[in-house]
Structure formats: C-alpha cells, structure tokens
C-alpha cells in the first residue's frame, strides 16, 4: 500500500520573471478555505507567486468554508 503521509509543498526561490507582469488589483475566492488542499497546495503556490513578484500589491483572498473559523484562526491553521 502506498505511503499516505502528506507532503508539504516546496517553496521555490526563483528569480523574478522578466516578461511576466502582475495583474491589476484583484481578489481570489477560495471555496473550502479550511481544507487540506488549500493548506498544502494553494497557499504555498500563492506564496511562491508573491515571492516572484507575480501577485499584485492590492490582492485579497476571500475564504469560504463551512468550518466556523475567524480570519485569525484560519491564518494560524495555515502555519500548523
């Protein structure tokens, strides 16, 4: 049976892309924001995009989930 342990997404330390430009101000809605895929894949990918300068300065994340969490408790759960 294959190993079922979760693997954390790797942080990529890449130089900024010369030809890619960040979009204008925008927001991303995440349905299932308290879920495992958000924590393991989506948030690390957004972090990597931010590190390479591909996320605009005026960017918002709107998280939607059935779990009763505050914004602060959601942020803390991403760090666990």
Model pLDDT for residues 48-63, shown as the tens digit of each residue: 988 988 888 899 999 9
pLDDT tens readout for residues 9-33: 566 666 655 677 778 899 999 999 9
Q: Which helix (H) or strand (E) holds 60?
A: strand 59-64
What is the residue-averaged pLDDT of the chain?
Answer: 81
Residues 47, 11 contacting (CB under 8 angstroms): yes
Domain boundaries, the chain: 26-79
Residues in the chain: 80
Cα 31 to Cα 64: distance, rounded to the nearest angstrom: 5
* pTM assigned to the model: 0.66
For CA atoms 30, 80, 58, 14, the dihedral sign is negative
**Above pLDDT 90, what percent of the chain?**
36
Q: Which residue has the tokens 């991403």?
A: 78
Confidence label for 43 from pLDDT (cuts 50, 70 and 90):
very high
Closest CA to 60 of 34, 23, 36, 29: 29
């Amino acid at each position: 049976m294959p190993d079922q342990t979760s693997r954390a997404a790797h942080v990529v330390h890449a130089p900024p892309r010369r030809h890619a430009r960040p979009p204008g101000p925008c927001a991303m809605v995440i349905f299932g924001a308290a879920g495992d895929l958000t924590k393991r894949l989506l948030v690390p990918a957004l972090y990597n995009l931010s590190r390479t300068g591909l996320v605009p300065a005026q960017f918002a994340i709107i998280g939607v989930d059935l779990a009763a969490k505050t914004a602060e408790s959601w942020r803390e759960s991403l760090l666990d």
